[in-house]
């Protein structure tokens, strides 16, 4: 940072951005849920359970309008404002070391293993008999 006042400006701007982002998502989700529920339960629409795809499309459409448009406007404002805080002279080169690459590979392999174990644990039983032939379902990660 060039000065403490610049740092405070950036911090306050980021706080404002993240508060606005959270408000758009939470309030937009509640408004979209209320509007889509109202539209889905109108008398002319029929029973919602009978038309699940239509109900989901209505909910997604209302959500994209109620949340998507304000978020696009907020993102455009963010992109314009962030250019005032940074310049080409502030650029810092960061070398990607072999240790960092190893750590990323290790983290990814642990995540893949955890997903495999959780999928394996969620399976009710690993084998079942079909006719006279036994079929065994397994994940190669866990076996």
Residue 52 belongs to a domain = yes
pLDDT of residue 63: 87
Residue 95 belongs to a domain = no
Residue 117 belongs to a domain = no
pLDDT of residue 1: 59
Residue 72 belongs to a domain = yes
Write out the two tokens for 73.
């406007």
Segments of the chain with pLDDT less than 50: 126, 129-130, 132-135, 138-139, 142-143
Residue 125 belongs to a domain = no
Give the structural domain span for 47: 4-87
In the chain, the number of structural domains is 1
Residues 61 and 96: their CA atoms lie apart, in Å, by 42
Q: The whole model's pTM is what?
A: 0.52
Residue 132 belongs to a domain = no
Question: Coil, strand or helix: which one is 136?
Answer: strand
Residues 143 and 122: their CA atoms lie apart, in Å, by 15
Cα dihedral 75→77→79→82 (10° resolution): -130
């Amino acid at each position: 940072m060039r000065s403490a006042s610049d740092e405070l400006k950036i911090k306050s701007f980021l706080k404002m951005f993240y508060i606005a982002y959270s408000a758009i998502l939470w309030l937009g989700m509640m408004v979209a849920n209320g509007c889509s529920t109202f539209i889905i339960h109108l008398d002319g629409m029929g029973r919602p359970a009978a038309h699940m795809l239509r109900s989901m499309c209505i909910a997604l459409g209302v959500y994209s309008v109620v949340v998507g448009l304000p978020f696009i406007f907020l993102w455009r404002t963010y992109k314009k404002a962030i250019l005032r805080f940074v310049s080409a002279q502030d650029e810092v080169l960061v070398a990607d070391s072999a240790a960092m690459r190893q750590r990323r590979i290790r983290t990814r392999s642990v995540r893949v293993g955890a997903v495999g174990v959780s999928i394996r644990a969620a399976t009710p039983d690993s084998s079942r008999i079909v006719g006279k032939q036994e079929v065994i379902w397994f994940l190669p990660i866990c076996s």
